[in-house]
């Protein structure tokens, strides 16, 4: 930008950076994700007091700070919902409990029934201490990463997943959501992202090949006798089912504000009754 401005001012003849090669943008590595069967095997290999954490983090696609920040007050057992409102972070060897950093991070997550059962069994077997935290160490304090990693690494080796890292449980949850039909906007909300560009940058590749599935669904829709009600809802009384009132006049969708001279700039008028052609 500076060189271009200098050329415009005729202070230099040519841009010295024209033929300078910019460094290539590093390719984003696709994270390793687990299948439901592999999650089950891994959860069985960690000590019993950590099994629910693995399941909640994998199927809830939660950040580490969010899952270890869950308290019993965050769980609606009847609706199978956990509320993400607080996090536990470790800075300089000290543990801090604090609200989620962004409004998008503050969200509710519905979990599968078998995950909620594992969570209920965990709370019954290892009740929360004074902190109210569901996952805690033997003294009832918030979990440090180092404490969990001491049991995590041996568990992954026993499960035959020695290269799998904890943070990829969150990516696993995203891939499971996509495989279950979640669109990009739903994924954005579930992951707690502020911007959908963050979601697409990280997970858009998971939607590759979905066009074939969309084409199949379009074929089904084209042949479905109830396609009108599925797309537009039930036809209103007096409508011919094509979005037009009887007599052929289409409902006026927009009326521009009136100008000072009485005209309406950009106004769209419905055709006279009977003037529509097929």
What is the pTM assigned to this prediction?
A: 0.67
Beta pairing partners, 82: 75, 109
> Where do the domains of the chain lie, and which CATH numbers do they carry?
36-204 (1.10.443.10)
Tokens of 230: 């599925």
Query: Whole-angstrom Cα distance, residue 42 to residue 259?
Result: 68
DSSP annotation of 97 reads E
- Residue positions counted in the chain: 278
Strand, helix or coil for residue 240: coil
Q: Could you read off the pLDDT tens digit of each residue along the chain, which spans 278 residues? A: 555 444 444 545 566 666 667 666 555 566 789 999 999 999 999 999 999 999 999 999 999 999 999 999 999 999 999 999 999 999 988 899 999 989 999 999 999 999 999 999 999 999 997 789 999 998 889 999 999 999 999 999 999 999 899 999 999 999 899 888 888 888 899 999 988 888 877 776 676 666 677 777 788 878 888 776 766 766 655 555 454 444 444 444 444 455 555 544 443 333 333 333 33
């Amino acid at each position: 930008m500076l060189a271009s401005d200098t050329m415009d001012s005729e202070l230099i003849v040519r841009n010295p950076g024209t033929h300078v090669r910019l460094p290539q943008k590093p390719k984003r590595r696709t994270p390793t994700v687990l299948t439901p069967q592999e999650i089950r095997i891994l959860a069985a290999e960690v000590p019993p007091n950590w099994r629910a954490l693995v399941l909640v983090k994998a199927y809830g696609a939660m950040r580490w700070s969010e899952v270890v920040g869950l308290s019993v007050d965050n769980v609606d057992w009847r609706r199978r919902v956990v509320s993400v409102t607080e996090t536990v972070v470790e800075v300089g060897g000290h543990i801090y409990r604090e609200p989620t950093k962004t409004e998008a991070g503050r969200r509710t997550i519905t979990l599968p029934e078998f995950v909620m059962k594992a969570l209920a069994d965990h709370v019954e077997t290892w009740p929360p201490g004074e902190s109210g935290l569901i996952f805690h160490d033997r003294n009832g304090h918030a979990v440090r990463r180092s404490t969990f990693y001491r049991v995590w690494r041996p568990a992954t080796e026993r499960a035959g997943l020695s290269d799998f890292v904890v943070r990829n449980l969150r990516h696993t949850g995203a891939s499971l959501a996509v495989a279950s039909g979640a669109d990009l906007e739903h994924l954005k909300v579930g992951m707690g992202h502020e911007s959908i560009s963050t979601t697409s940058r990280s997970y858009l590749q998971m939607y590759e090949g979905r066009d074939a599935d969309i084409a199949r669904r379009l074929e089904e829709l084209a042949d479905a006798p109830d396609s009108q009600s599925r797309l537009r809802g039930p036809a209103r009384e007096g409508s011919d089912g094509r979005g037009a009132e009887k007599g052929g006049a289409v409902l006026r969708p927009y009326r521009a504000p009136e100008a000072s001279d009485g005209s309406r700039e950009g106004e769209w008028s419905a055709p006279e009754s009977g003037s529509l052609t097929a």
